[in-house]
Structure 1
Amino acid sequence: MKLHNRRVAALAALVLSAGLSLSACGGDDGGSGSDNSSGGGDSASGTYVFLPKNLGNPYFDTSDNAGKAAVEAFGGTYQEVGPDQASPDAQVPFINTAAQQGASALVVSANDPEAICDALNEARDADVKVVTFDSDTNADCRDLFINQATAEGIAKVQVDMIAEQIGDEGDIAILSAAANATNQNAWIDLMKEDLAANHPNITLVDTVYGDDDDQKSFDQTAALLQANPDLKGIISPTTVGIAAAARYLSTSDAKGKVALTGLGTPNQMREYVEDGTVTEFALWNPADLGTLAAYAAKALVDGDVTDGSGSFEAGDLGEFTAEDGVVLLGEPFKFNADNIGDFDF
């Protein structure tokens, strides 16, 4: 695997070469493979179905468009399907349809760790390879999980940023996505452990949920500030939530008084960094995540990864290794006023 700093340095080029767009992709948007496939096995004729938590989410638009570019590069056929709203069982009918239509692989960001398991295992019984990315299911419901970064690393970077921004003391709150989101809850538990062990003067006073809905996240931010007049900072480990919270803070009396950090994309957060609402936030590259997920699915279809283990090439990202059913992308990257202009996704 290439080192993280090499991926960061090449990020702008990767995004441009993938031809990414932040517009939503409809369920009918598929692409047929080219004749100069670099893959072996059945990957050149296979169909790869990407199933995000919900359509119209800029984060998944970016990851799925990169996945599309990767699938087309190795000669497969790409499809994106998904619900309009993220809910625990909303992905089930799309999984069933993909299996019935003979998809080679499903690439899924799970809204719930268990609600889609039966459908995924039925798909696997029909010889559909299942890759989860961003948000995992239970391990026995998929073949590989593409982990954007270790949960510990994601939690730590967010706690470190808020601690620095509020002088390592004061009340903070967390604005999360759905209450049952696997990745969000894992990060929050680890953030609580880090705060308790290393930041005794910071108090987590509340955790609220915006369900990855812009308006609800905006309203939850307003409610947090009203209920906690001494609030010093907010962590939002979700791209929808942090952008909505920044939008609220940018025109409120709390701008410059309440720090906001978490996980966001540069294009969403640029104006809020430039106007001083947000000092620093973090994320991995969702384009890299989508690319890696596509190549991991290809490796499963080709038989290069079996029983959760094996090595494979992921295009320009280089070589990766699957161990115990997990492939690790890398470490989170911090965006701030000094570097945000270098990125476009």
Structure 2
Amino acid sequence: MDGYLRGAAVVAAAVCLAAGLGACGTGGESGGNASGGGGMRIGLLLPENQTARYEQFDRPLVERKVKELCGDCVVEYANGRGDAATQIRQMDSMINNGVEVVILGAVDVRSLRSAVEEARDADVPVVAYDRPVEGPVSAYVSYESETIGRVQGEALLKALGDRANGGQVVRWSGWRAPR
């Protein structure tokens, strides 16, 4: 159980430290193993490759931070390319091939539930990354959305200057957390 918690702690720390920087980017496409040698095997599953940040920023930042925290750890990477069925197969493959922890940026927060349950049954902690996912996750790492919204609103008001006088800025999000 110590290895289980150690794995979740290493991954959560890496993702926490990299997540804030990851939201900045523009990107490409890739796959395969990234870092290290004979240490812990960490699965990194990102949701899609259309948003540049996942390939050009989030992935390299997570890999770099994992390597910094655990030099002999190996990051095994896959991208769901916006398809939940593909991501479920990728997660299943990682679990069956012996990853010790999974960082999961879910394509669809509901459809990955069975894969998260499979990971739990295999004693593989899952760190939900960037968005929550249904099922028994060990940790959830994301950005501070309320702070980001406040800062965005303040920047908008500042940019509007005198034109904002008497105006109203409304921020609405249609997203709801899964129940």
Q: TM-score range with shorter-chain normalisation?
A: 0.5 to 0.7
Residue 80 of structure 2 contacts residue 107 of structure 2 at CA under 8 Å; is this kept in 1? no
Which position in structure 1 is the counterpart of 2:167?
201
Encode CA deviations 1:12-51: one digit per residue, 9 max, x unaligned: xxx9xxxxx9763522243332xxxxxxxxxx62211111
One-letter code aligned to 1:26: S
Cα displacement (A) at 1:55:
3.0
Return 5+ residue gaps in structure 2 as ranges. 1-20, 175-179
Matched pairs, number: 148
When normalised by structure 2's length, the TM-score is 0.67
1:31 aligns with 2:35: yes
One-letter code aligned to 2:28: A
Partner Cα distance (2:167, 2:50) in 1: 39
Encode CA deviations 1:111-138: one digit per residue, 9 max, x unaligned: 3322211111111211111112222224
1:120 aligns with 2:116: yes
Which position in structure 1 is the counterpart of 2:157?
163
Which position in structure 2 is the counterpart of 1:135?
131
1:103 aligns with 2:99: yes
Residue 168 of structure 1 contacts residue 202 of structure 1 at CA under 8 Å; is this kept in 2? no
Residue 33 of structure 2 contacts residue 74 of structure 2 at CA under 8 Å; is this kept in 1? no
Partner Cα distance (1:51, 1:158) in 2: 29
Which position in structure 1 is the counterpart of 2:17?
none
Partner Cα distance (2:87, 2:76) in 1: 15
Which position in structure 1 is the counterpart of 2:148?
154
Partner Cα distance (1:22, 1:206) in 2: 25
Which position in structure 2 is the counterpart of 1:45?
39
One-letter code aligned to 1:137: V
- In the superposition, relative to structure 1, how do residues 45 and 203 fare at CA in structure 2: closer, same or farther (>3 Å)? closer
Partner Cα distance (2:171, 2:49) in 1: 32
Residue 111 of structure 1 contacts residue 135 of structure 1 at CA under 8 Å; is this kept in 2? no
Residue 168 of structure 1 contacts residue 201 of structure 1 at CA under 8 Å; is this kept in 2? no
Point out the structure with the larger strand share.
1
Cα displacement (A) at 1:67:
1.7
Q: SS of the counterpart of 2:80?
A: coil
Partner Cα distance (2:46, 2:118) in 1: 19
Residue 41 of structure 2 contacts residue 100 of structure 2 at CA under 8 Å; is this kept in 1? yes
Partner Cα distance (1:205, 1:82) in 2: 30
One-letter code aligned to 2:139: L
Return 5+ residue gaps in structure 1 as ranges. 1-14, 16-20, 34-43, 171-198, 209-345
Partner Cα distance (1:203, 1:56) in 2: 29
Partner Cα distance (2:122, 2:163) in 1: 54
- In the superposition, relative to structure 1, how do residues 148 and 205 fare at CA in structure 2: closer, same or farther (>3 Å)? closer
When normalised by structure 1's length, the TM-score is 0.37
